[in-house]
């Protein structure tokens, strides 16, 4: 069985209570033939983080991290984590209006 996980980062600008919305909206898909390696990576990353950031340790957090990483590249120009993830990115299609 294969696994597909999806997550998004950013907003579409429909929350009018916010004074500022994000410039980018990122949708990220993570494809994996087995979920166990993804779970192991998430656990490994969590070990290095402060406890206040810990939540569930499953592949959804992995795709959340990937989405956040790609979003930071576009929204803030921060490529720190993106460079770590980049070798695993199979396809990236930015669409700009």
pLDDT tens-digit readout, 32-76: 899 888 888 777 766 665 554 555 445 657 888 889 999 999 999
Q: Which residue has the higher pLDDT, 85 or 57?
A: 85
Residue 28 sits in which domain range? 3-13+23-88
The answer to the question of residue 34 being in a domain is yes
3-state SS of the chain?
A: CCEEEEEEEECCCCCCCCCCCCCCEEEEEEEECCCHHHHHHHHHHHHCCCHHHCCCCCHHHHHHHHHHHHHHHHHHCCCHHHHHHHHHCCCCCCCCC
The answer to the question of residue 94 being in a domain is no
The answer to the question of residue 97 being in a domain is no
The answer to the question of residue 93 being in a domain is no
Range ranked top by mean pLDDT from 19-23, 58-62, 88-92: 88-92
What is the total count of domains within the chain?
Answer: 1
The answer to the question of residue 18 being in a domain is no
């Amino acid at each position: 069985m294969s696994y597909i996980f999806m997550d998004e980062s950013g907003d579409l600008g429909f929350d009018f209570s916010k004074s500022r919305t994000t410039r980018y909206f990122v949708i990220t898909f993570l494809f994996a033939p087995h979920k166990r390696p993804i779970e192991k990576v998430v656990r490994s990353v969590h070990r290095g983080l402060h406890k206040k950031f810990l939540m569930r340790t499953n592949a959804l957090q992995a795709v959340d991290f990937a989405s956040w990483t790609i979003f930071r590249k576009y929204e803030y120009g921060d490529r720190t984590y993106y460079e770590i993830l980049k070798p695993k990115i199979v396809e990236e299609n930015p669409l700009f209006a």
